Structure 1
Amino acid sequence: MNKYNFLMAAIHNVMDYYHIPGCAIAIIDKGKSFYFHFGYENIEKHIPFTLETVSGIGSCTKSMTAFAIMRLMDQGILDIDVPIHTYIPGFALYDEKASQMVTIRDMLCHRTGVAGHDGTWPNDSISRKEFVYRLKYMQPNVAFRTLAQYSNVMYVALGGIMEMVTGKTWETILKEEIFDPLEMKHTYCHLSDAYKSGHMAMPHLWDHKLKVISPWKIDMAGPCGSVMSTIQDMCTWVRMHMQNGQWQGKQLLSSSLFRDMHTPQIIMNYPHLKMGTAIGYGLGWRILMYHDTEIQQHTGKIEGYSAFQFYVPKEDSGAVFIDNLHTPSNPFFFTLQGLLLDYFLGIPQQDWLSFYIHRGGKNQEEIYHQLEFNYMPKRCVKETKPSHLLQDYEGIYSNPAYGEFTIRMNKNELELDERCVRHCPMKHFHYDTFSVEKIKEDTNIYTIPLTFLTNTDTGDISGFTLRMEPKVSDIFFHRIK
C-alpha cells in the first residue's frame, strides 16, 4: 500500500544488508491489519516466504505461557502470589529463604536471583515436572527479588508447574486457553507439527555465506520458546492484547489480571530501540517508553529464527515481524519499529536506517558471531600435559541440575556430549584442564574450561568442573561410570 512506501524501502535495505533470507510482517494500524512478505522460507529451494509460512517465534512464547497462567488464575486453578512450595510438595530453589517465598509472579518477571543456567535445557530424558525439582540445584548469582535476570529455566519450570496443577500438558493448556479461542489454527508447540504443516520456514545462519541449518528441537523446554506460527496467527494474538484481552466480544482475561500482566513488575534493561527507555518487565511482556508513550513488546530468538511483537495501547496500533535468520535480528526489528512508531505517533521520521546500517558499506562478519563467547582463562601454562592417558577420562558424569554428560574418545581426541548437543571438541589447555568448544546454551555458543579432578585415595578420575554458567561457580559433575 502506498502509505507504507516509507517502510518498504527500509525493509529491502536492511534485509539485504544483514542477509535476511525471508520475513513476514503484520501492521495493525488503528485496528486494521495489513500483511507483507519478502524473500524465502528456504533459500536453497527458493521457496517463497508467504503469509502461510510457519516460523519460530522464540521467546515471544513467554507471553503466551504467561497469558495461559493468568487464564488459569482467572479460573481459580492457581494463584501467582501464593508461595509455590505450599501447593507443589518438595518444590525448592537453591536458596532456602527464596524457597519459602518464591511465587509464580517472581518466576514470570525474572526476579528469582537465579542466573541463566541455559545448559540445563532442553533435556528430552526428563519431563517438565522433573525439571521443576532440578531448580534447587541451580546456584543463584544475586539475592532473591533484587535484580531482574532474564531466565529461560524459570519459564520451562512454569510449564511443569502448570502441568502439575491441571493434570494437562502445557501444549494442551495453550491450545485450550489461547489457540482455540483465537482460532490460531496454524500455531504449533512442537517442531514435528510445524513440519507437518508443509509450510515451515527453514532456519538460516550466516557464516561467510548464508546457509540452511537444522532446526533445533526444544519441545521439552517449550514454555520458554518453542512455539512456531504464521504472521496472520501472530497478528491475531497481538490484536487480542490491543483489545485488552477481548476477542470477538468475549473477555478472555479479566480486566484486572490483564492490566497486571502488562504492568512493570521490576526494573529491567534489555536491548531496545534507540531513543527508547526500558521501563521494566511485566508478566511475559517488556515495557518501553518512546516520546512519553508506552510500548508493550517482546523479542524472540531461537536457532535460526527471530520474531518481534509490539503494540502502542493508546494508538490502537502495533506490528509483528517474523524472519528466519539466526542473528542479528534486532537491527532489522528496531529499524522497522522506529519507522512505524514515528508514523503511529504522527511525529517527524528519524533516519532509522542510519542508526542500524552503514550506508554504502558492507556489514562486518563479526556481527554474525556476536553470540559466540570464549570463557577460557587468559593465561595458559605452557609445556604441561594431562595427568592420565586420554582414554582414562572417558566416562559418564552427572550433576543434579544439568543431568548426565558423556566424555568419549573420537579419533584420538576427547569430545563431550552435553544433553542433545553431541561431539563438542575438547583440546588440552594445561595440566588437567581442557577447552570445550561449541557448548550450546540457548542461542549462545561457548568455549569453556573443563578441569578433571582426581580421587586422592585411588588416583582415578572422580569428576570434573565445567564453566557452564559463567555468572556462578564452575559446575561440578561426578563420575558415575
Structure 2
Amino acid sequence: MADLNPLQSLLDSEATSRCVPGAAVGVLLDGTEHVLTTGVASADAPAPVTADTLFQIGSTTKTITATAIMHLVERGLLDLDGPVRRYLPGFRLSDERAAEELTIRHLLTHTGGFLGDVDDGATWDTDALAASIRSYDELPQLFPPGLTASYNNAGFRLLGRVIEVVCDEPYENAVSRIVLGPLGMDSSFFFPWDAATRPHAVGHTVRDDGPHVAHTWGLFREAMPEGGLLSSVRDQLRYAAFHLGLGGEEPVTSATRELMRAEHVRVGAPWAGIGLPWLLDDRAGLRLVTHGGNIGNLQLSTFVLVPERGFAVTTLTNSAPGKALGELVTDWCLEHLLDAKPERTRLTLRDPEPRYAGSYDAGQWTVEVDEHLTARFVLRPALVAAEVEGFPDMRLALVEGGDDLTLAADPSRRIGRFLRDDAGQIAFLHLAGRAARRIT
C-alpha cells in the first residue's frame, strides 16, 4: 500500500505558500484510487474541498470531446480523415483551399492551421456553437492544414459542432449520453446552474494580500467542447481508469483508446508529440499521456496517464498558481511512486539578438518581445473586461545552436521556439504550444 502521507503534507504546505485556496488530487496506482484534498472551495465561503467538489477542468475537456468523436468514428458516422465539409456543408475559412482540405484528424491534432484562440460570445443559447463557427472565415490561416501543430481551441469548438450535427442534439447532451453516462461520471456537468446546487470551487485572483474570489464564470456555451466541463476528482479518476484500460469497451474500444494515445504529430517543445488529442511527453523512460486545463487563470488542472504502469494523477485547483502546484504533485508521484525521477539538465544558452524582438499575435493576446527576450502578454480588451487574470512577464533565453527557447531563470528544458519563413526571417513565436504570428 502506497504511503501518501508525505504527498498530503506537500499538498497542504505548497497550496498555502503558493496562495492556492483549495485543491483536490486523485492518484490511481495498482488499481486503487486515492484522493487527497486541501483548503477551501472559496475564500469568501470557506467550505472544505472534498472528493466531490466540482472544479472547472478546462481543456482536459478536449479529450472528452475527442472520445465522443472517436465513438462516432467507430460506428461509421464519422471518418477520421474525412473533410469537415462532409459534415458541415458550407463551412468556410479565410483560405478556401484550407477549408476544402481540413479533416477531423487535423482538428484533433491541432494541425488545422487557422488561428486557434478566438474571443468568446456571451450567451448560453443552444445555437451558440453554430453561431460561433460562422465567423471562422475571419480567422487568419497561419499554415496549410497538417503542416504545423499549433494549439487550437477553435478547432475543438468546430468538433463540438460536428458532434451536434451528426448526433442531431446539443453537444452537451450528446457527450453526456456517449461518454459521461457510460463511464458513471455522474458528478460531471457543463452548465453553471448544475454546479450551483452542488459543492463547487470558484476561481481566485492572487494579489499581494492573498487570493480573492473572481466573480466570473470564465467562459460561455460556445466554449464547452474546448474546456467547459465541471468535474469532481472522483469522476476524473473514473475517466482516467477507463483510458488506462481498466473499464469496459464503451464509449470506445481498447484499440481506439490505444490509437488516441499514440503519437500522430511530432512537435517538439513543449511536448514530444500529439495524439488524438493527448499531449505526449517522456520522463525517465516513461511515456506520459497528458492534458491540463486553464479557465481564465482562475481554475487550473493537470491530468497525467502512464499507460505502461497503469498509473494516473490529476490535480484540480482554484487559482493561477495551481498549475505549478499540479506539476509539483505530478513530479512527486513520478519520482516516489514510479521511481521516475526527472533528470536535471542545464541547456547551453546564447545571447539574445535584436532581430527576435517584435509583437506576436496569438489571437486573444499579443506577446511583446523586447531585445532582451522578455515576453510581455497583452490581453485583448474583451478579456480584460471579462476579468481574465493576466500572465506574468516571461524572461526567455535562446538555446545554443538554433531558435529554440527556454526560461532564462530555469534553463532546464525547451519551452518553445521561433519559426522562420521561406526567406529565413523570423515569422512566428511558438510558445506554450501556440504559434503566434509576427506583426511588427
TM-score range, shorter chain: 0.7 to 0.9
Matched, 1:305 2:271: no
**For this pair of structures, how many residues does the alignment match?**
366
- Whole-angstrom distance in 1 between the partners of 2:366 and 2:340: 43
- Whole-angstrom distance in 2 between the partners of 1:350 and 1:22: 30
For residues 240-285 of structure 1, the C-alpha deviation after alignment (integer angstroms, 9 at most, x for no partner) is 0111xx62x44431333222211122123565xxxxxx31111121
Within a 5 Å distance, the mapping from 1:284-299 to structure 2 comes to: 284-299=277-292
Structure 1 equivalent of residue 333 of structure 2 = 340
TM-aligned CA deviation for residue 90 of structure 1: 0.5
Structure 2 equivalent of residue 196 of structure 1 = 197
Tell whether the 8 Å contact from 1:122 to 1:221 is kept in structure 2 after alignment.
Answer: no
Tell whether the 8 Å contact from 1:281 to 1:287 is kept in structure 2 after alignment.
Answer: yes
Structure 2 equivalent of residue 35 of structure 1 = 35
Structure 2 equivalent of residue 117 of structure 1 = 117
Do the aligned partners of residues 347 and 172 (structure 1) sit closer, same or farther apart at CA in structure 2, a change above 3 Å counting? closer
- Compute the RMSD of aligned alpha carbons: 2.9
TM-aligned CA deviation for residue 222 of structure 1: 0.4
What amino acid does structure 2 have at the position aligned with 1:82? Answer: G
Structure 2 equivalent of residue 212 of structure 1 = 213
Structure 2 equivalent of residue 463 of structure 1 = none
Secondary structure at 2:183 match in 1: coil
- Aligned counterpart for 2:318 among listed residues 321, 324, 328: 324
Tell whether the 8 Å contact from 1:131 to 1:160 is kept in structure 2 after alignment.
Answer: no
Within a 5 Å distance, the mapping from 1:234-383 to structure 2 comes to: 234-243=236-245, 247=247, 249-269=248-268, 278-303=271-296, 304-325=298-319, 327-347=320-340
Structure 1 equivalent of residue 437 of structure 2 = 471
TM-aligned CA deviation for residue 439 of structure 1: 5.7
Structure 1 equivalent of residue 413 of structure 2 = none
TM-aligned CA deviation for residue 350 of structure 1: 7.9
- Whole-angstrom distance in 2 between the partners of 1:103 and 1:55: 32
Do the aligned partners of residues 374 and 317 (structure 1) sit closer, same or farther apart at CA in structure 2, a change above 3 Å counting? closer
Do the aligned partners of residues 470 and 124 (structure 1) sit closer, same or farther apart at CA in structure 2, a change above 3 Å counting? farther
TM-aligned CA deviation for residue 318 of structure 1: 1.2
Tell whether the 8 Å contact from 1:129 to 1:163 is kept in structure 2 after alignment.
Answer: no
Do the aligned partners of residues 157 and 443 (structure 1) sit closer, same or farther apart at CA in structure 2, a change above 3 Å counting? farther
Matched, 1:83 2:79: no
Matched, 1:164 2:130: no
- Whole-angstrom distance in 1 between the partners of 2:269 and 2:389: 16
- Aligned counterpart for 2:234 among listed residues 232, 235, 240: 232
Tell whether the 8 Å contact from 1:119 to 1:442 is kept in structure 2 after alignment.
Answer: no
TM-aligned CA deviation for residue 17 of structure 1: 2.3
Do the aligned partners of residues 442 and 268 (structure 1) sit closer, same or farther apart at CA in structure 2, a change above 3 Å counting? farther
For residues 182-202 of structure 1, the C-alpha deviation after alignment (integer angstroms, 9 at most, x for no partner) is 1111100112211122x0112
Q: Give the TM-score normalised by the residue count of structure 1.
A: 0.70
Within a 5 Å distance, the mapping from 1:135-174 to structure 2 comes to: 135-174=136-175
Structure 2 equivalent of residue 221 of structure 1 = 223
Do the aligned partners of residues 443 and 114 (structure 1) sit closer, same or farther apart at CA in structure 2, a change above 3 Å counting? farther
Tell whether the 8 Å contact from 1:26 to 1:321 is kept in structure 2 after alignment.
Answer: yes
TM-aligned CA deviation for residue 374 of structure 1: 6.6
Structure 1 regions of 5+ residues with no counterpart? 272-277, 352-371, 379-415, 422-437, 447-468, 475-481
Tell whether the 8 Å contact from 1:70 to 1:253 is kept in structure 2 after alignment.
Answer: yes
For residues 2-33 of structure 1, the C-alpha deviation after alignment (integer angstroms, 9 at most, x for no partner) is 71133223212321221100011111111110
Tell whether the 8 Å contact from 1:342 to 1:350 is kept in structure 2 after alignment.
Answer: no
For residues 191-225 of structure 1, the C-alpha deviation after alignment (integer angstroms, 9 at most, x for no partner) is 2211122x011211102221011222422210001
- Whole-angstrom distance in 1 between the partners of 2:9 and 2:369: 46
Larger Rg over CA atoms: 1
Secondary structure at 2:91 match in 1: coil
TM-aligned CA deviation for residue 440 of structure 1: 5.7
For residues 448-479 of structure 1, the C-alpha deviation after alignment (integer angstroms, 9 at most, x for no partner) is xxxxxxxxxxxxxxxxxxxxx963769xxxxx
Structure 1 equivalent of residue 48 of structure 2 = 48
- Whole-angstrom distance in 1 between the partners of 2:72 and 2:34: 32
Structure 1 equivalent of residue 376 of structure 2 = none
Structure 1 equivalent of residue 188 of structure 2 = 187
Do the aligned partners of residues 442 and 145 (structure 1) sit closer, same or farther apart at CA in structure 2, a change above 3 Å counting? farther
- Whole-angstrom distance in 2 between the partners of 1:173 and 1:263: 25
For residues 352-378 of structure 1, the C-alpha deviation after alignment (integer angstroms, 9 at most, x for no partner) is xxxxxxxxxxxxxxxxxxxx9676899
For residues 143-171 of structure 1, the C-alpha deviation after alignment (integer angstroms, 9 at most, x for no partner) is 33221111111111111111111111111
Higher deviation after alignment, 249-258 or 37-46: 249-258
Tell whether the 8 Å contact from 2:21 to 2:318 is kept in structure 1 after alignment.
Answer: yes
What amino acid does structure 2 have at the position aligned with 1:63? Answer: T
- Whole-angstrom distance in 2 between the partners of 1:179 and 1:312: 22
Secondary structure at 2:119 match in 1: helix
Secondary structure at 1:49 match in 2: coil
- Whole-angstrom distance in 1 between the partners of 2:387 and 2:77: 33
Secondary structure at 1:19 match in 2: coil
TM-aligned CA deviation for residue 141 of structure 1: 2.2
Tell whether the 8 Å contact from 1:301 to 1:443 is kept in structure 2 after alignment.
Answer: no
Within a 5 Å distance, the mapping from 1:14-33 to structure 2 comes to: 14-33=14-33
Tell whether the 8 Å contact from 2:219 to 2:295 is kept in structure 1 after alignment.
Answer: no
Tell whether the 8 Å contact from 2:283 to 2:340 is kept in structure 1 after alignment.
Answer: no
Tell whether the 8 Å contact from 2:218 to 2:386 is kept in structure 1 after alignment.
Answer: no
Tell whether the 8 Å contact from 1:170 to 1:223 is kept in structure 2 after alignment.
Answer: yes
- Whole-angstrom distance in 1 between the partners of 2:389 and 2:118: 9
- Whole-angstrom distance in 2 between the partners of 1:138 and 1:472: 15
Q: Give the TM-score normalised by the residue count of structure 2.
A: 0.76
